[in-house]
Amino acid sequence: MTEKELKKQAEGDINLKKFLIKYYNLQTYLEANDGQYPNQKSDKVLFAWVKNTRRFYKIGALPQLRIDLLNQINFNWAGKMTYRFEERVQQLLAYKKVNRTLHVSQMCRGVNDEEYSLSRWVNEMRRKFNENRLPMEYINRLNKIGFIWNMEDVKFEKRIAALKKFHKEHGHFDVPQVGKYKKLGNWVAGLRARGVVTKRYRLWLDQIGFVWEGVRKRKRKSIDKMIEIDTKNALNKIRRKLKKDH
């Protein structure tokens, strides 16, 4: 349908006429703002219209003619989150460039702080992922940049980094449970006593050559091995002596 035919049809349809006014206003707005949709501050009326249009489309109450017209301007049916999502991804990448990590901490930040806002978004992505409410396209996009879905992984990786540093300095994994290494030592003792919750964590530790048995157990095994060798040697001497006597 041509624009002329559309306007002629709108003459006898007041609702279509109102729609076309908002439609052309949105088209003009998008062209002037590099494709960014209006918000409550930039254009409250147009923002409300876009929101209602999406709602009507979602419940199947939007006429096909209007859907076709909106598709011609690549209308964003998903809503504000699509634009904000990619914007947040870029903010997260910028944060990583400065801090060399995708972990955005909420600690010691004010409610108006940009990084605090970003950290809340990161937590929201994790929550929606765990609730199976995050679109697959978002999951794939976040996976592509190495998004951290599980904070336990972050904590575990930090511990492993500290353990690798200790091993590099001391040549072993027997971290003392006193002094400056107390926390790391207690963690290592816990690993040896209780193991780890996932096979993935065990694999990470195996990859750095972690020794699962503690000092006492290794000493006990060493002593038992020496006793076994000594006993075997003694028995061999007795057998040789008996053989010689006969």
Each domain of the chain, given as residue ranges in start order, spans 3-72, 89-144, 151-212
Buried b (16+ CB within 10 A) or exposed e, 63-78: eeebeebbeeeebbee
Q: How far is the first Cα of the chain from the last one, in angstroms, to the nearest whole number?
A: 117
Considering the chain, what is the average pLDDT of its residues?
83
**Nearest alpha-carbon partner for 204 in 243, 159, 137, 146:** 159
- Least Cα distance to 29 among 18, 10, 17, 42 occurs for 42
CA torsion 232-234-239-245 (nearest 10°) is 170
Please give the C-alpha separations between residue 40 and each of 46, 49, 233, in angstroms, as whole numbers.
8, 11, 89
DSSP H helices, 59-198, are 64-72, 80-99, 114-130, 136-144, 151-170, 182-194
**Distance between CA 104 and CA 90 in Å, rounded?**
14
User: Where does residue 81 fall: left (phi above 0), alpha (psi -120 to 50 degrees), or beta otherwise?
Assistant: alpha
With left for phi above 0 and alpha for psi between -120 and 50, is residue 146 left, alpha or beta?
left
18 vs 11: CA distance, rounded Å: 10
Residue 118 clears pLDDT 60, i.e. is over it: yes
Residues 86, 88, 93: CA angle, nearest 5 degrees: 95
- Residues of the chain with pLDDT > 90: what percent? 26
pTM: 0.43
Q: Which residue has the higher pLDDT, 156 or 5?
A: 156
- Residues with Cβ < 8 Å from 70, sequence gap 6 or more? 23, 53, 77
Please report the pLDDT score of residue 131 as a whole number: 86
Nearest to 102 by CA among 43, 144, 50: 144
In tens, the pLDDT along 14-58 reads: 888 889 899 999 999 888 876 778 888 889 999 999 999 999 988
Specify the residue for token string 């011609």: 72
Q: What is the mean pLDDT of residues 188-201?
A: 86
Burial class (CB in 10 A: 0-12, 13-18, 19+), 30: middle
